[in-house]
Amino acid sequence: MKEQILIAARQTIETELREATSLPERLDDDFLRACELILACSGKVIVSGIGKSGHIGRKIAATLASTGTPAFYVHPAEALHGDLGMIAAGDVVVLISYSGHAAEFRRMMPLLKALPVSVIAFTGNRASPLGEAADCCINIHVENEACPLGLAPTSSAVNTLIMGDAMAIALMRTRNFSEQDYARTHPAGSLGTKLLCRVQDIMRTEAKVPLVQATATVHDALFELTRTGLGLVAVTVGDRRLAGVFTDGDLRRWLLKGGALSSPVQDAMTFPGFSLSASQLAAEAQALLQERRISAAPVTSDTGQVIGAINAHDIREAGI
């Protein structure tokens, strides 16, 4: 029984891979025309399909939307009961039906043409009503489904998904869709956090910032070190302009050489001290801290005033 399971699984994979190998040859004028229609579209791309084609259509719409092409999925039955109102003149509609004979699409097609919208068909039968009515036809034909009954969409579903991915990525590259663009559509993901989160978004502010004037004593700075637990104190002059930093290491070195706690902290601090900009990406700040082998830094404004502080733990907590 175990061997039968493995044989069936292996045959399924081999069949689907074999059918997929013919797809590069089908990147023809219709594929180019479909991409041009979408690139020129000032509206939306609406993807629709019934049954397994609908499941694949949802994935294609999601991939398009996350890679720079505004798109969403509409169920064909719902479209015939009001959701056609989501489609407007100037949109592009992608209809997926392997046979090309889906009854819902036959009813939808005259209405779509009347809007008018451009229609792209994903079908295994160019000579079908859908294939002939569409403005361009993406060929997803297979010789054999992996299903031994030849009934369940298996190889054809894979071919549809691959051609949908090919179209989405071709459009993405043509639009010069960047990592930053991708991050804006995935702000909750790790990439979005890395590319969008800035120091000002996660830094400590107000009372959480360890801060003393340059005229304060080492004892005052020690109190701030203890109060905030950040590992450093920003030493400022005037209107909070950074003069230097006083760290745990500075304190140890000061005491080892016989320095007094009553001495001015400016005599014991590190000058000028390293600081981060509030507008820097948090990932960049993390790299700078690692490069200098320090765990924390004050954050300054464009005019050099201390407005916050941050350490490596804060950055890790932000998911970077």
Q: Is the pLDDT of residue 14 over 70?
A: yes
* Closest-CA residue to 53 (of 169, 151, 158, 127): 158
Cβ neighbours of residue 228 under 8 Å, at least 6 residues apart?
A: 204, 208, 209, 210, 309
Strand pairing report for 276-277 and 296-300: parallel
Q: What is the pLDDT of residue 185?
A: 66
Considering the chain, tell me which residue range(s) the CATH 3.10.580.10 domain(s) occupy.
199-317
- 135 among the known binding-site residues? no
Considering the chain, tell me which residue range(s) the CATH 3.40.50.10490 domain(s) occupy.
2-177
Homologous superfamily of 2-177 in CATH?
A: Glucose-6-phosphate isomerase like protein; domain 1 (3.40.50.10490)
pTM reported for the whole predicted model:
0.69
Indicate the range of 12-26, 68-82, 109-123, 170-184 predicted with least confidence: 170-184
Q: What is the pLDDT of residue 174?
A: 95
The CA-atom distances, in angstroms, between 252 and each of 72, 194, 292 are 61, 35, 19
Of 117-121, 206-210, 301-305, give the range with the top mean pLDDT. 117-121
- 141 among the known binding-site residues? no
Is-cis flag, bond preceding 153, omega within 30? no
What are the tens digits of pLDDT across the range 45-97?
999 999 999 999 999 999 999 899 999 999 999 999 999 999 999 999 999 99
What are the tens digits of pLDDT across the range 264-299?
999 999 888 889 998 888 888 898 988 888 889 999
Helices 218-228 and 248-256 pack at an angle, to 10 degrees, of 140
Structure-model confidence comparison of residues 229 and 309, the more confident one: 309
CATH number, domain 199-317: 3.10.580.10
Residue by residue, DSSP assigns 71-101 as EEE--HHHHTTTGGGG--TT-EEEEE-SSS-
